[in-house]
């Protein structure tokens, strides 16, 4: 993996423009000028573009390091740390070059609250899903709450887009929003519409925050439960990154053990355990069962990842099962017994970004801090029901700096 600088705008802009043009050509706009902003092909092609703005996110995560350093020796809720780090990284990639200072901090805080609310509502069991005829009554008020939270997020997107379009001053660092706003199709001269831009941003936020931060928390929980794995992971980091440096993306491929730890965590705790529902376009028979056309089908990745016919000692947390096997069992979804990012045409559109954010945050926090649970406590692996598989009890830990050079924490 290589590190990409968002300031190297010329070749990057050219490449990005070509990608979006390909998308627009494969999805011609309709009569009203709007095309499906969330369409499969469009998402799959624009998402990788976001990767080029990862550097913004990395810079932002340094703030989290400073915050954790400030809590030296006191307790931290790992889920909250992960969520705020991930959302800070995402907002920096979106509009880090557009919004800065107090306005930026204020909008980012509002955005964080709005997204948490949306994710909570999204995970609530809704009786209308099981009895669709009840949907129009919205008995639990979930639909209404969802509309309110979505409007809140949309207003934030509108505010940021207005700020950027009103403000003619040249910004030094182009962010993802800036790129989307400036994009023009070379042939037709058409730009992306505002609804298209907002749909992209919403997709990324909804798909990327809960999944990545939950995976971070699960990994930390497993490491706290398995001190020998924690030790080995941190030793690898010391050897590869060194005591006097911070983690950078080019280190990732030299961290096979950490990669195995992440894979093993996602095997036992896939953040979207039932993936996204499928709907067959034709009736078919599978394993002796008839699946009628149009049925809603859920694939239980969680159960497949723990199937004793497919895995040796499936309930054991053993990263070694992925060591030296990385090419055979990767996240591509080609081996159907291991599909933490799904499989096929609808597999995770943010796979590479998710993987990189997870590796980056884990490697950084594990390299820079020692972690221990408060005396007399033991982390558990209880799960909470929801679209995203969260821990039922928050993981509380105590960080202490691991590196001698304290300047690296500021
Ligand atoms: C550790 C991190 C992540 C995990 C484990 C994860 C997992 C998944 C899974 C299992 C699916 C369903 C795939 C299927 O049904 O086949 C999915 C869908 C999706 N993910 Fe992720 N994801 C992660 C991070 C991200 C990030 C960072 C983004 C955005 C940048 C993202 C955007 C999406 C989107 C847009 C979809 C829907 C794709 C579609 O409908 O075609 N995900 N993800």
Instruction: Report the sign of the C-alpha dihedral through residues 301, 302, 303, 307, in that order.
Output: positive
User: In angstroms, what is the span from residue 208 Cα to ligand 1's centroid?
Assistant: 7
Q: Is 274 within 8 Å of 255 (Cβ atoms)?
A: no
Residue to mutate (ligand 1; options 85, 211, 277, 338; most atoms within 8 A of CB)? 211
Domain 9-22+41-166+175-408 has CATH 1.20.1300.10: no
pLDDT of 17 reads: 43
Residue to mutate (ligand 1; options 207, 271, 279, 345; most atoms within 8 A of CB)? 207
Give the pair of three-digit tokens for residue 175: 């962010």
∠ CA 253-91-341, rounded to 5°: 45
What is the C-alpha separation between 365 and 382, in angstroms, rounded? 23
Query: Could you report the average pLDDT of every consecutive run of 10 residues in the chain (410 residues)?
Result: 34 40 39 39 58 62 86 94 88 75 78 84 82 88 91 90 74 76 76 86 85 96 98 98 93 96 97 91 92 91 96 96 78 93 90 91 96 93 86 96 92
What is the C-alpha separation between 128 and 344, in angstroms, rounded? 28
Give the pair of three-digit tokens for residue 88: 């800070």
ipTM above 0.90? yes
Nearest CA to ligand 1 atom 40: 346
pLDDT of 97 reads: 63
pLDDT of 28 reads: 37
Q: How many Cβ atoms sit within 10 Å of the Cβ of residue 17?
A: 17
Question: If you write DSSP's letter for every residue of 132-158 in order, what string do you get?
Answer: GGGGGG-TTSHHHHHHHHHHHHHHHHH
Q: Work out which ligand 1 atom sits closest to the CA atom of 276.
A: 15
Q: Is 87 within 8 Å of 112 (Cβ atoms)?
A: yes
pLDDT of 45 reads: 55
pLDDT of 182 reads: 82
Beta bridge partners of residue 370, listed in sequence order? 400
Beta bridge partners of residue 369, listed in sequence order? 401
Give the pair of three-digit tokens for residue 345: 């045409």
User: In angstroms, what is the span from residue 214 Cα to ligand 1's centroid?
Assistant: 13
Give the pair of three-digit tokens for residue 94: 């979106």
What is the C-alpha separation between 291 and 278, in angstroms, rounded? 11
Structural domain boundaries in the chain: 9-22+41-166+175-408
Q: How far is CA 191 from CA 34, 68, 204, 316, in A?
A: 11, 42, 20, 51
Give the pair of three-digit tokens for residue 354: 């998710």
Is 284 labelled a binding residue? no
Phi, psi (rounded to 5 degrees) for 82: -65, -45
Q: Is 144 within 8 Å of 137 (Cβ atoms)?
A: no
Nearest CA to ligand 1 atom 12: 275
Q: Work out which ligand 1 atom sits closest to the CA atom of 214.
A: 1
Q: Is 204 within 8 Å of 38 (Cβ atoms)?
A: no
User: In angstroms, what is the span from residue 141 Cα to ligand 1's centroid?
Assistant: 27
């Amino acid at each position: 993996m290589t590190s990409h600088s968002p300031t190297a705008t010329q070749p990057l802009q050219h490449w990005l423009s070509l990608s979006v043009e390909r998308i627009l050509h494969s999805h011609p706009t309709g009569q009203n000028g709007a095309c499906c902003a969330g369409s499969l092909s469009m998402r799959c092609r624009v998402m990788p573009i976001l990767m080029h703005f990862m550097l913004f996110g990395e810079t932002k995560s340094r703030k989290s390091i400073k915050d954790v350093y400030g809590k030296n020796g006191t307790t931290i809720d790992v889920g909250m740390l992960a969520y705020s780090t991930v959302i800070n990284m995402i907002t920096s990639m979106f509009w880090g070059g557009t919004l800065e200072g107090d306005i930026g901090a204020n909008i980012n805080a509002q955005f964080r609250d709005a997204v948490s609310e949306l994710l909570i509502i999204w995970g609530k069991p809704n009786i209308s899903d099981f009895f669709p005829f009840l949907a129009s009554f919205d008995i639990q008020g979930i639909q209404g709450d969802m509309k309110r939270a979505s409007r809140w997020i949309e207003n934030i997107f509108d505010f940021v887009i207005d700020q950027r379009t009103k403000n003619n001053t040249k910004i030094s660092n182009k962010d993802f929003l800036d790129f989307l706003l400036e994009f023009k199709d070379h042939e037709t001269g058409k730009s992306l519409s505002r609804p298209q831009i907002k749909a992209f941003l919403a997709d990324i936020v909804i798909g990327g925050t809960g999944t990545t931060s939950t995976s971070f928390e699960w990994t930390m929980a497993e490491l706290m439960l398995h001190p020998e794995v924690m030790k080995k992971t941190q030793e690898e980091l010391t050897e590869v990154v060194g005591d006097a440096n911070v983690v950078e993306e080019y280190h990732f491929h030299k961290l096979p053990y950490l990669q195995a730890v992440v894979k093993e965590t996602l095997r036992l705790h896939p953040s979207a355990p039932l993936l996204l529902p499928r709907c067959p376009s034709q009736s078919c028979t599978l394993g002796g069962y008839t699946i009628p056309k149009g049925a809603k089908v859920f694939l239980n990745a969680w159960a497949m990842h723990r199937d004793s016919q497919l895995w040796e000692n499936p309930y054991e947390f053993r990263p070694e099962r992925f060591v030296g096997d990385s090419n055979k069992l990767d996240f591509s979804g080609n081996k159907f017994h291991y599909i933490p990012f799904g499989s096929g045409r609808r597999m995770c559109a943010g796979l590479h970004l998710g993987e990189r954010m997870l590796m980056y945050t884990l490697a950084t926090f594990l390299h820079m801090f020692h972690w221990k649970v408060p005396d007399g406590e033991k982390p558990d692996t209880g799960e909470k029901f929801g679209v995203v598989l969260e821990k039922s009890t928050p993981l509380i830990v105590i960080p202490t700096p691991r590196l001698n050079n304290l300047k690296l924490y500021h």
